[in-house]
Amino acid sequence: MSEFSTVLSESRRFPPPPAFAARAHLSSPEVYRRLCAEAEADPDAYWAARAKEELFWKTPFHTVCEWAPPHARWFLGGTTNLSYNALDRHLDTHADTVAIRFEGEPGDRRDYTYRELHAEVCRLANGLRALGVRPGDRVGIYLPLIPEAAIAMLACARIGATHSVVFGGFSAEALRDRMNDAQARVLITADGGWRKGAVVPLLDNVRASLAHGVPTLQTVVVARRTGASLPSLRAQERSWDDVVAGQPATCEPEWVDAEHPLFILYTSGSTGTPKGVLHTTGGYGVWTSLTARWVFDLKPDDVYWCTADVGWVTGHSYVVYGPLMNGATVVLYEGAPTTPGPDRFWDLIARHRVTILYTAPTAIRAFMRLGDEHPKRHDLTSLRLLGTVGEPINPEAWMWYRETIGGGRCPIVDTWWQTETGGILISPLPGVTTTKPGSATLPLPGIHPKILDKQHQEVTEGAGRLFVTRPWPSMLRTIWGNDARFKAGYFGEHPEFYFTGDGARRDADGYFWIIGRVDDVVNVAGHRLGTAEVESALVSNPKVAEAAVVGRPDALKGTALVAFVTVKAGVPTSKALEAELAAHVTREIGAIARPDEIRFAAALPKTRSGKIMRRLLRDVASGQDSKGDTSTLEDLSVLAALRTDDE
């Protein structure tokens, strides 16, 4: 970060605009302090009140929280259904409000009112039941960002099936591994999706995955999106239309236990295999519903657009569950931000009169580079609130977002959270919090983050590692099928405090500044990747002997991926091999994991005990001189060779 940005970020403060605060759900620091004090004085009473306000409970819960570290259970004895909470609850009051306003990349449009969305969800829920899907069964969802994705998730929730959405940008191999880990019974997909004017061949990927075997899978449901008609379907495949045909537009929800598994979502960790983060129903529902209203200040007349794909947790919590439980109008846009032109986002905002925009710093930086003329050509005055998520936002991008997109009048909420946290934990409240560009500011009421040093001493001002010291309703419950990994990964550092994997700093006002990951996870263009995953993809190529992947700071993507590769004896290295390996990673994981740079090395620098010296490689990758202690280098010439190559 430049010196300018430090000065800028430390000195600039933006209190909530009075007109915004006047009509916000939470509207003053006193309200915030009162809620925090309530949560502190009697956590059970605080959470019980939130849970009762937020959800319809078919059976009331008798116990708020049972905390047997590292396992938490919330709202015990309660039964509910999140599809009922997201849909049926609105039918008496605003059935004709638009729930989903969809625009496809080619420009096609579809609106679903709450009444219509309810009917579609019920039809599919009935159809899935007819296919034999039972409560607790896992259903895979591999779809473009089209209304069917939300419909499929809510249909699963309605019948108590546990969904596992796999981002459409993941490859056939990645899909197969996730379906196998979850032991999915049904997979819902489409013929394809539109991305940058081309078709992403989802059905082909599904067929390729199945060819390698997903033994538990009984049926593939195929929606039509890109073709004039569906290709001829194979055994096991059924068209979406066929599955819902003749099904009634009502469906009795399955009243599930608060701790019933709602979804599994795979995310990257520090080993080669992704982990299935498990979220359950009650606590997740309470917190996503509450935070969607608190942080985005959702009102009946808002048109809310979160640009995330449903393949990520942001799409689960703040495209589907949170906003719909609040009865909001949600914009869904299928395609790329710059198709057909660099102003597609601004054009969408102007035409749909979007009032709330929630997107990633990488997108903001990319738009900044494309030039002000594109947003300036469009009327963005409908916007009243801006949000960011996924990676640290540099103060320059924050200021550009505020001035050029928000016209200087919109509060910005920089929301810190993770797949594992289920919902936002640290964020400004737009009617309450004075913001500082680059800071996620303060914890939401009831959330207890702490920065600890290596000796587990709290750092009240300064930098350290970020923990959450008390359970919260939407925390992950375990890693699907691997509780040992859950324990070691999140509670291995401290037996009772959840370890986030992030480094953070607190300033004199107690504000949190997220620095970035301290583990082997990297955020590339707002997408989370494990360096070990990319390494194992590389070494699965027969020409590769060994690989080490590290992140290097990148002005646009936040972090870029650099792969150091040693090849097997006799394999010549070349530009062509670089391209071949990059394509190999795309095939194994998906284009998001494709290394930005591949460097061939004769050997990788290792400690005496054989550990790859990643710190050194990170320095080499970012062009810095290594300050690391090189005395343990197995072979000093390796370092020298890498440096020479670097020149």
Residue 299 CB, nearest approach to ligand WT7 (Å): 23
Choose which of 283, 392, 473, 605 interacts with ligand WT7 (CB under 6 A).
392
CB of 436 to ligand WT7, least distance (A): 13
Stretch that binds ligand WT7, among 90-98, 205-213, 387-395, 609-617 (CB under 6 A): 387-395
593 binds ligand WT7 (CB under 6 A): no
| Range list of β-strands (E), 349-461 | 356-359, 385-389, 412-415, 449-452
Q: What's the rounded Cα separation, in Å, for the pair 26 and 428?
A: 11
Candidate ranges 251-259, 390-398, 468-476, 575-583; the one touching ligand WT7 (CB under 6 A):
390-398
Select from 50-58, 400-408, 514-522, 567-575 the region that touches ligand WT7 (CB under 6 A).
514-522
First to last CA, the chain: 24
468 binds ligand WT7 (CB under 6 A): no
**Which CB, 57 or 358, lies closer to ligand WT7?**
358
Residue 397 Cβ vs ligand WT7, minimum distance, rounded to whole Å: 12
Q: What is the dihedral of CA 244, 245, 249, 254, to 10 degrees?
A: -40
Interaction between residue 464 and ligand WT7 (CB under 6 A): no
* 302 vs 414, beta carbon nearer ligand WT7: 414
Q: Does 314 bind ligand WT7 (CB under 6 A)?
A: yes
DSSP code at position 405: I
- Taking CB atoms within 8 Å and a gap of at least 24, the contacts of 52-57 are 53/290, 54/285, 54/286, 54/289, 54/290, 54/325, 55/80, 55/85, 55/282, 55/285, 55/286, 55/289, 55/325, 56/80, 56/84, 56/85, 56/89
Q: Is 165 in the site for ligand WT7 (CB under 6 A)?
A: no
Q: Does 195 bind ligand WT7 (CB under 6 A)?
A: no
Q: Does 557 bind ligand WT7 (CB under 6 A)?
A: no
Three-state SS string over 214-245 comes to CCCCCEEEEECCCCCCCCCCCCCEEEHHHHHC
Of 146, 278, 313, 320, the one binding ligand WT7 by CB under 6 A:
313
600 half-sphere exposure, CB direction, 13 A CA radius: 18
Give 79 or 418: the residue with its C-beta nearer to ligand WT7.
418
Task: Give the nearest distance from C-beta 517 to ligand WT7 in angstroms.
Answer: 5
Please identify which residue in 105, 116, 177, 391 interacts with ligand WT7, judged by CB under 6 A: 391
**Residue 586: other Cβ atoms inside 10 A:** 17
Among 415, 433, 441, 566, binds ligand WT7 (CB under 6 A): 415
User: Should residue 528 be labelled a site residue for ligand WT7 when binding is judged by CB under 6 A?
Assistant: yes
Q: Does 274 bind ligand WT7 (CB under 6 A)?
A: no
Tracing tokens 């303060």 back to the chain, one arrives at: 442
Compute, in degrees rounded to 10, the torsion defined by CA atoms 265, 268, 272, 278. Answer: -30
Query: How near is the Cβ of 288 to ligand WT7 at its closest, in Å?
Result: 12
Q: Report the nearest approach of ligand WT7 to the CB of residue 410 (Å).
A: 17
Q: Does 389 bind ligand WT7 (CB under 6 A)?
A: yes
Q: Which stretch binds ligand WT7 (CB under 6 A): 288-296, 298-306, 327-335, 495-503?
A: 495-503
Q: 29-41 vs 43-54: helix axis angle to the nearest 10?
A: 120
Q: Which two tokens stand for residue 186?
A: 């049904």
Label each residue of 282-319 as H, E or C.
HHHHHHHHHHHHHHHCCCCCCEEEECCCCCCHHHHHHH
Q: What is the pattern of x (binds ligand WT7, CB under 6 A) and - over residues 254-273?
A: -------------x------
Residue 428-457 contact track with ligand WT7, rule CB under 6 A, x = bound:
------------x-----------------
- Between CA 614 and CA 559 the distance in angstroms is 15
Residues in contact with ligand WT7, counted by CB under 6 A, come to a total of 23
Q: How far is CA 36 from the centre of its chain?
A: 27
Residue 245 makes CB contacts below 8 A (sequence gap 6+) with none
Would you give the distance in Å from CA 376 to the centre of its chain?
A: 29
Residue 203, classed as helix, strand or coil, is: helix
Overall size of the chain counted in residues = 647
Measure the CA–CA gap between 124 and 223, rounded to whole angstroms. Answer: 11
For the bound state, the minimum distance from the C-beta of residue 559 to ligand WT7, rounded and expressed in Å, comes to: 10
Q: Which is nearer to ligand WT7, 423 or 595 (CB)?
A: 423
Among 372, 378, 384, 476, residue whose Cα is nearest residue 423: 476
422 binds ligand WT7 (CB under 6 A): no
Q: Does 417 bind ligand WT7 (CB under 6 A)?
A: yes
Instruction: Choose the stretch contacting ligand WT7; rule: CB under 6 A; options: 167-175, 404-412, 474-482, 516-524.
Output: 516-524
Tell me how far, at minimum, the Cβ of 317 lies from ligand WT7, in Å: 8
Contact residues for ligand WT7, defined by CB under 6 A: 267, 312-314, 389-392, 414-419, 440, 500-502, 514, 516-517, 523, 528
